[in-house]
Chain A
Amino acid sequence: MNPAAYRELGAGLAMGLGAIGPGIGLGILIGKALEAIARQPEVSGDVRTNMFIGIGVTEAVALYAFVVALILIFVAK
């Protein structure tokens, strides 16, 4: 394989493997938040706000992988 092929393979692997962790994390996070809302509907506003903060922080991990993939494709030579 030529170097360009390795680069694109690396970009695909980075994105795919990098999405596993945040995917599991988001599942647990939102599941627990829904559980909390179902148990105590009166605090649903607070839970939802904190859930969105958590989503932002968790999702950022996947986006780092996305940025690495972009760098591999467009910037790395």
Chain B
Amino acid sequence: MKGKRLLYLLIGLGAVAALAFLPGGVKEDFAVAGEFNLEPVVKLPKIGPFDLSVNKAVIYLWLATAIIVVVAIVVSRSLKVKPGRFQYAVEALYELARDGIVGSVMKSGKATWFPYVGAVFFFVLVNNLIGLLPLPFGEHHQPSFYAATANLFVTATLALFTFVFTHYAGIKKNGALRYFKNWAPASAPPVLKQIIFVIHAVSEFFRLISLSVRLFANMLAGHAILGVFFAMALIFQSYLAAVLLQGGSVLIYLFEIFVAVIQAFIFAILSAVYIGGALDQDH
């Protein structure tokens, strides 16, 4: 029995080694950066400075929205006391958004702000995850990987929502004067207070940048690395390299699933932290 297993192992290794002597395929022009080009799919006229053309990112955003809406409707129409697998998975994600994200970092206004934070969590999560499916929106309708969240304009818009809602929540609860006064500690001397106020104001804008760039760069880096790994086999032009590197790209792919979930979680939890911080100011 043991000898047989060794034999199979040797045959397998021999087959892999034999691949090294096979001539590789034709080298094709492949640039990873090309996957992120946004050519308009449906051309529409410009209205003022806004180009309304439908491109790849827009299709992915629509797709994510459609998936969320359909799943939400299907699950909420067929709720059972004893949940099936699908309902249990959606409920677990809902519970993560409610208790793990909003419940654990916000003190007051949980019920008011859960809809926003939960919606952002699911939107970013589904957008990140469908970015890992090959969909036929590449060049010449070839299957390609793209995520709408690997686009700075999408993530900046999401971050802008959080930015606006943070200050809206803070001003609505504390009153405009008290909200801005609380940006600097009351016990500090007047000169220092002004400096702290300015530093805090700058940091509010940097939150906007860091929130959007974090998600954008994570998804872009992930997809670029995936693209490089897939293209390696073309670059080396050898079946051995293809076999070995496909193993690597499977590992990177698994890691990207983890990153997609973690980034959605971080985006939502930081939104909740910022809004919670504006609601319950600590000085």
Residues on A close to B: CB < 8 A? 45-46, 49, 52-53, 55-57, 59-60, 63-64, 66-67, 70, 74
Contacts and interface: CB of A to CB of B under 8 A. Distances in A.
A49 B33 CA distance: 35
Given A46-B104, A63-B221, A52 B214 contact: no
Contacts of B104: 45-46, 49
Interface of B: 33, 100, 104-105, 210, 213-214, 217-218, 220-221, 262, 265-266, 269-270, 273
Q: Which of B33, B221, B262, B265 has the most CB of A within 10 A?
A: B221
Ranked nearest first, the 9 interchain pairs of A and B with the lowest CB-CB distance are A63-B217, A56-B266, A60-B214, A60-B210, A49-B104, A66-B217, A67-B217, A66-B221, A63-B214
A53 B269 contact: yes
Contacts of B33: 74
B217 A56 contact: no
A60 B269 contact: no
B219 to A, nearest CB: 10
Contacts of B269: 49, 52-53, 56
Nearest to A46: B104
B217 A57 contact: no
B213 A56 contact: no
B29 to A, nearest CB: 17
A57 B213 CA distance: 11
